[in-house]
Structure 1
Amino acid sequence: MAGLIVPGGLAPCTSPRPKAVSYYRGAGYTASARTPPQARRPMPRKFGSCRVTARFHVAAAATVEAPPAQQASYSGSGRRVMIVGGDGYCGWATALHLSARGYAVSIVDNLCRRTFDLQLGLDTLTPIAPIHTRVKRWGQVAGRDIDLRIGDICDFEFLSEAVQAFRPDAVVHFGEQRSAPYSMIDRARAVFTQHNNVIGTLNVLFAIKEFAPDCHLVKLGTMGEYGTPNIDIEEGYITITHNGRTDTLPYPKQGGSFYHLSKVHDSANILFASRAWKVAATDLNQGVVYGVATEETMADPLLINRYDYDGVFGTALNRFVVQAAVGHPLTVYGKGGQTRGYLDIRDTVRCIQIAIDNPAAKGEFRVFNQFTEQFSVNELAAIVQQQGAKAGLDVQVKSVPNPRVEAEDHYYNAKHTRLMELGLQPHLLSDNLIDSLLKFALQYKDRINTDLIKPAVDWRKTPVSSGTMQAAVAGKH
């Protein structure tokens, strides 16, 4: 697609799955763990328009004693979980969490999230290692292999081969462009977001139907699908009486960006696939996630998770914490009454595990609202200001024009009981803000680019021409 280079079309390795100590395939080379560098032979590559075809398969080359966190109770019982988008923020933490608990994990990712940073001049606050290094290091630290397949799920041939080779019991689908501002940068990125997300999800559904009919789909949705209605938000469905007749229907959706609308389309497609093909599916309508640390991502520096703070991928809380760390006023959009659901990254990985351990029935499309607390933007700013003061920081708050088209003062009461009923024990923001966020912002303060923490994308001005430069240097306007 013009103006946007996204890697894809990568085919998986078709060699037998390695056992304990096996082979490392990456960067276009095949080598045994014992093969000297000069004996490595290059693997064939095929180049096409904005696509590269290569074969990758990664397993640990060595193991060391697992840290105490990894020696805790395992409950995966060898169940096979494919994590689409496993190199991303939620996906990486989930992959390690499940692997540490005995699940056989396969990561499928086309690495386009890293490409977005390169295109827009962005960078994560916490430096993250290449995916091959991450996976190899996890094997060394935890003694547990993660299967890695580099490819694009919009390429059905790649996806079908990956599903048939790994034979998943569950597919956790994080593999979507997940930023509302990114989808509003320009026409090309709006189109990419909807094509990537909707077509990718359709391909996942077809792959399950054809090659893994008993597989349980755990799909990451978003609370943003609902919008901000003036009634309570139920968990996926609402019972309505109209003209004397009553029915239970999907809850009305009011997505607030082309990204959110792609998620709405996903939900409708999954509901249909569940009815027509008896796919078992759980839609996790997730709130805003914060935090960096899980037991697994903190087990080694090479396993650390990403932390986005910029105006495109950074959420309000992440931005506020970084702004506090560098002495920049907290930028509250508009009146600051916008209210959303939030949860700690440690609760995200636990919610995924709960959904896997308690699968939907065949033909069932169930919806869980995945968050633990609700805050307005003003409330978040007040919490950061208070916690910053405890750390000796002078934190100021400033209102700026809202670049989004949204209600700034509204009713918001969303139900979120089903995951709690299944055993989720949440980490609350007020108790964990400094440990989970502020210390990272202060530790990596020298990596902060203050030009990137102001609003970057205006919903009212999404251009037809490329908006890459405008998004990258928004802080200078």
Structure 2
Amino acid sequence: MRILVLGGDGYLGWPTALHLSQRGHEVAVLDNFSRRLWDHELGAESLTPIETLQQRVAVWRQITGKIITPFIGDLCDYTFLEPVIRDFQPEAVVHFGEQRSAPYSMIDRQHAVFTHVNNVVGTLNLLYALADHAPDCHLVKLGTMGEYGTPNIDIEEGYITITHKGRTDTLPYPKQPGSWYHATKVHDSTNILFACRIWGLRATDLNQGVVYGVETPETTMDPRLATRFDYDGVFGTALNRFLVQAVVGLPLTVYGKGGQTRGFLDIRDTLACVEIAILNPAPRGELRVFNQFTEQFNVAGLAEAVREAAQEFGLDVAIHHLPNPRVEKEEHYYNAANTRLLDLGLKPHYLSETLLESVMRVVMHHRDRVRPELIMPAVNWRRTHNPVLPTEEPVIQQP
């Protein structure tokens, strides 16, 4: 199958391209290297050293004999995108090609506007290119569980059946995005649903939870195939920050009470979910939604899990609580459905095995590359004259 991976130089895009290539598909990747530029903007870098895309592609061909074709350009430039779709004629497009950080989108007006233009316009361009040149192509789009927010009812997979004033209908599940970034994902879902309805496109929205892990069977074939590991306060996940803090002897910094609950999954399960979606395409005219996560944790629970894992390596870890720079419910109901991918054959990996088996070991191997000044929160959700938070000392200590 011919598969085009958008954002194929990124944290998930690169391992996905390797995985699909190894499985025998004809794979191309498209990227404009924005993620690398944001590192320069923020003065940050991946904990794991990462090679250029050109070097990665060359190493993959050297090791496996398989070819991954790179296209270098911007989804927001339709004069670039249109001929790629027309000439490559993808049977499936995996869309990771968006600005993915909630904090980055909340830095200021400029970053909010950029995130909206980059994400919404890029996806809208893609929909037009598919409609005109590859109408039977299956779009597998990375959404986010953050589209739903934290409602006080169970979260269904994309749609909810409701009865109102004696009439019943199945409608898109209500959205309550938690950042400008999450709002762009809501706009994407709306636009894709509309395109499927009016043009007969086929699409799967993978509403993904927080991904952890850095190693896949393909990336471990050679150090030059490694994907990135972000731990800074803008692009790093809470779990990644905790792991780095544990290894370098810093307290784990929990935002607020730590009751914020989210879905999580191993990076290997992300690759499996994408492949499952590709091999089981949505019908023409349908936007299908899968909630893509395997476990639910709150932030305080993650911190405890990291502390316990660190003890296995002889590390004594403290947990501190910081004022929460985000505007979010810190204690809430959270119960999300996630059965559709399991029904199609997903065999999950679990955090309890991954922390010790893989991630902690990788972080310890690269501990000399850690820059502690990058870890603390830097962006304030509250609209102030100075949106950047000063570095704050922990105010609540948990024994």
TM bracket (short chain): over 0.9
Task: Return the alpha-carbon distance in structure 2 between the equivalents of residues 230 and 340 of structure 1.
Answer: 14
Pick the aligned partner of 2:172 from 229, 250, 256.
Answer: 250
Q: What TM-score do you get using the length of structure 2 for normalisation? A: 0.97
The aligned runs of 1:426-445 (5 Å cut-off) are 426-445=348-367
Superimposed CA distance per residue, residues 157-203 of structure 1 (whole angstroms, 9 cap, x where no aligned partner): 10001111211000110000000000001111100000000000000
Task: Return the alpha-carbon distance in structure 2 between the equivalents of residues 475 and 132 of structure 1.
Answer: 41
2:170 alignment partner, SS class = strand
Q: Does 1:367 align with 2:308?
A: no
Partner of 1:45: none
Aligned pair in 2 of structure 1 residues 163, 417: CA closer, same or farther (>3 Å)?
same
Partner of 1:406: 328
Superimposed CA distance per residue, residues 266-303 of structure 1 (whole angstroms, 9 cap, x where no aligned partner): 00000000000000000000000000000001110100
Partner of 1:376: 298
Task: Return the alpha-carbon distance in structure 2 between the equivalents of residues 116 and 252 of structure 1.
Answer: 32
The aligned runs of 1:65-214 (5 Å cut-off) are 79-214=1-136
Partner of 2:198: 276
> What code does the residue aligned with 1:452 have?
L
Task: Return the alpha-carbon distance in structure 1 between the equivalents of residues 356 and 100 of structure 2.
Answer: 26
Partner of 1:234: 156
> What code does the residue aligned with 1:209 have?
A
Partner of 2:251: 329
Task: Return the alpha-carbon distance in structure 1 between the equivalents of residues 272 and 190 of structure 2.
Answer: 26
Task: Return the alpha-carbon distance in structure 1 between the equivalents of residues 268 and 384 of structure 2.
Answer: 35
The aligned runs of 1:301-316 (5 Å cut-off) are 301-316=223-238
- CA contact under 8 A between 1:83 and 1:108: conserved in structure 2? yes
Superimposed CA distance per residue, residues 374-413 of structure 1 (whole angstroms, 9 cap, x where no aligned partner): 0000110110000101110011100000000000000000
Task: Return the alpha-carbon distance in structure 1 between the equivalents of residues 182 and 318 of structure 2.
Answer: 31
Q: Which entry has the higher C-alpha Rg, 1 or 2? A: 1
> What code does the residue aligned with 2:311 have?
A
Superimposed CA distance per residue, residues 94-146 of structure 1 (whole angstroms, 9 cap, x where no aligned partner): 00000000010010000000000001100000000011001111111111000
Task: Return the alpha-carbon distance in structure 2 between the equivalents of residues 122 and 475 of structure 1.
Answer: 19
Superimposed CA distance per residue, residues 284-323 of structure 1 (whole angstroms, 9 cap, x where no aligned partner): 0000000000000111010011000000000011110000
2:357 alignment partner, SS class = helix
Shift of residue 476 of structure 1?
A: 9.7
1:351 alignment partner, SS class = helix
Residue segments in structure 2 that go unaligned for 5+ positions in a row? 395-399
Task: Return the alpha-carbon distance in structure 2 between the equivalents of residues 86 and 462 of structure 1.
Answer: 36
> What code does the residue aligned with 1:290 have?
Y
2:29 alignment partner, SS class = strand
Partner of 1:263: 185
Task: Return the alpha-carbon distance in structure 2 between the equivalents of residues 225 and 237 of structure 1.
Answer: 12
- CA contact under 8 A between 1:450 and 1:475: conserved in structure 2? no
Task: Return the alpha-carbon distance in structure 1 between the equivalents of residues 305 and 245 of structure 2.
Answer: 13
Q: Which has the higher contact order (CA 8 A, sep 6+)?
A: 2
The size of the alignment, in residue pairs, is: 394
Shift of residue 431 of structure 1?
A: 1.3
Which consecutive segments of 4 or more residues in structure 1 shift more than 2 A? 473-477
Residue segments in structure 1 that go unaligned for 5+ positions in a row? 1-78
Q: What TM-score do you get using the length of structure 1 for normalisation? A: 0.81
Partner of 2:271: 349
Aligned pair in 2 of structure 1 residues 258, 147: CA closer, same or farther (>3 Å)?
same
> What code does the residue aligned with 2:275 have?
Q
1:205 alignment partner, SS class = helix
Aligned identity (percent) is: 63
